Structure 1
C-alpha cells in the first residue's frame, strides 16, 4: 500500500474501516445450502463463526449457553460482574439506568464514574469463576473464559482449575512483548501460552507486526481490532487504533506468513 506524506519526515498509510469497503459479487453464485459457515479452533467445532465479546453488556452465562445452542460461543470475563457477584442482575440494571441518565443528560458524569468504580471494586471471587464454567458446561456449550493481561497471573490458577475449554487473554492493546520499568514483572505470553493445555486466544492487535508476534507465541487465535466500533472509546479518547478493514487485512497477511513459516493456521 502506498505511503502518504503527513508532514516533513512523517508518512503513513490510508486505512479503511468496514463501512468504507464492500464485498463485490463474483462471476459465480452459490446456493445457500452449499455455503459452509462452520469452523474449528483446536478440538472445538462451531457451526457459526461468532464468539461474543467478553463484555458485561454482551456476555453472561446465559448468553454463552444460548450462543452454544446456536452453534457459536460467548466469552465470559473472569473479571466481570458475573465473577464478582453471585447474582449481578440488580447491578446490571443499575448500570443500564446510569447509561440512560447519561443519554438524557441527567445527573453528573463524575457521579456516574464514581458509582461504576464502586460497582467494580467488589473483588473477583474464584469460586464464582468455577461456578460459571460449570453452569455453561452442564448446558452443553463450549466454555470460553476471558481475562486481562494484567490479571492473568493472579487469576490463572483459579481459571485453570475450573477447566474452561478456551481461554481469552484480552486487553485494549495486547502485545507479545511488554516493556516495564521493573515495578512489576510483565506477562510473558510466549511462555504462558506454551505451558497451558487449554487453547489460548490473545488480543487485541491492529497491525501486521503485532499480529505476527502474537501468533508466534503459540496462540490458537488472535483478536484483531483496537479502537474501532461504537462500543469503543479508545479511538475517540486516546486517538489510538486502526480502521478495522485495514487491521483485518494486515492480520490476514501476518497469518499467511506464519502459516508459510510454521505450517500452523491461526484463527
Structure 2
C-alpha cells in the first residue's frame, strides 16, 4: 500500500497531517479526571507532568525554569541566549519587549541580531545552571550542534542533569568539508548524563538519532509560532505525521536494541491544550512548549515570543510575535482557566481528555483512536 500522491509527472509525495487535521475519539469507557496520571519519567528523572519548557529567551529564564520545575515540569535554559551573554539581561529583555513595529519589521530583526552579538561567557553558563540547581529542581540546558563541542565541558562540569542538543534539524551524520563534525554517538557515549537531541521529523533520521544512545528525540521543525522556516527554507513537516513516524521508529528501535526505550518529545506547533492532547495521542511521551508558556505573566518575553531563528546572524527565519498574557505560569499549566480557547489549564485539559476517552496514564493514551478531521 502506498500513501504517495502524484504532485506532477516527475514527483510524488506522501500526504502528511498537522495536529489541526486530526481529532481523538471517545471510547466506551470514561474516568474521573482525578484518577488520571500525567506523570512522565526520563532516565532517573520523574516529573509530575509531561511538559518541557523550550530553551527560548522569551520563555525560560533561570527563575522561570525553577518555577516550572516546582510546578512539576522541566525547564530548559538556552545556554546561547541572553542569560549567558549578559550579566544582567533584564534591560535587554525590556528593550526587546518595547521594540516598535509590526511582526515583519526588518529594523526589529536587525536590533535582535545586534543584541545577540556579544559573545557567550562560559562563567555565566556555570552561574545560571548553579542558580537552578540551588533551587532543588532538575537542571537542563540546551546548546545547538554547532556550539556543543565548544561548551559541553562547561555545561557538564556545572552539574547539568539533562543535556539538550537542539537545532532546526539535527542528524546523526552531519557531513562537512570545512569543519570537524560532532560525532553524536561518541559524544553521548562519553557523557554521564541523559541527552535529548533534535529536531527530527521522519522515521529514518529519528531511528539514526536513537542509535546514537540519545535518551529522547525532539520531533518537529518549522512549525512554531515565531518561526518562518517554511517560508525561508521551504522545510516543514506537519506534526501529527511527524510524531507518528518517529513513534514508529521508537517501536522498531526497541525491537532492534532488545528493549531500550527512547522518549519521543513533540517540539513546536502546540499553542493550545488541544494540540498537546493530540501530540500525545499520536505517540509523544512529552511536549516541549514555547508559545504556550510565553503567555505566562512570569515569562521573560513579557507577552512577546521569539526564538533563536529570529536573531540568526546570517539567515534569520523567525519573528518576534505578540502572544499576550493569559495568567500566571501556575494558571497556564494547572488553572483555573479564565479563557475558553485552550491557552490556560493545559494539564487540566489533558487530564480531562484522557478521562473522557477512558485512559488512566500517558502510555495508555497513546493508543487512543484518532481520525482525520480537517
Matches of 2:172 and 2:55, distance apart in 1: 20
Aligned twin of 2:102: 102
After superposition, what is the alpha-carbon deviation per residue over 1:20-42, rounded to whole angstroms, capped at 9, x for unaligned?
A: 11111111111112211111111
Instruction: Work out which structure has the larger RCO, using CA pairs closer than 8 Å and 6 or more positions apart in sequence.
Output: 2
Aligned twin of 2:126: 130
Aligned twin of 2:60: 59
After superposition, what is the alpha-carbon deviation per residue over 1:44-67, rounded to whole angstroms, capped at 9, x for unaligned?
A: 110000001011111111111011
CA drift at 1:261: 1.1
Aligned twin of 1:69: 70
TM-score of the pair, normalised by structure 1? 0.94
Aligned twin of 1:257: 252
CA drift at 1:222: 0.4
CA drift at 1:74: 1.0
Aligned twin of 2:9: 8
CA drift at 1:163: 1.3
SS in structure 2 at match of 1:66? helix
Count how many residue pairs are aligned between Structure 1 and Structure 2. Answer: 261
SS in structure 2 at match of 1:169? strand
Matches of 2:260 and 2:245, distance apart in 1: 18
Aligned twin of 1:210: 205
Aligned twin of 1:247: 242
Matches of 2:160 and 2:249, distance apart in 1: 28
Are 2:176 and 1:147 equivalent residues in the alignment?
no
CA drift at 1:9: 3.2
Q: RMSD of aligned C-alpha atoms?
A: 1.3
Aligned twin of 1:166: 162
Matches of 1:240 and 1:202, distance apart in 2: 19
After superposition, what is the alpha-carbon deviation per residue over 1:76-130, rounded to whole angstroms, capped at 9, x for unaligned?
A: 01101011111111101111222x4224x8xx61x33332222111111111111
TM-score of the pair, normalised by structure 2? 0.68
Matches of 1:54 and 1:236, distance apart in 2: 23
CA drift at 1:195: 0.7
CA drift at 1:243: 0.3
Matches of 2:50 and 2:11, distance apart in 1: 39
CA drift at 1:212: 0.7
> Runs of 4 or more off by more than 3 Å in structure 1?
none
Alignment of 1:108-123 (within 5 A): 109=106, 111-123=107-119
CA drift at 1:157: 1.3
Matches of 2:222 and 2:108, distance apart in 1: 23
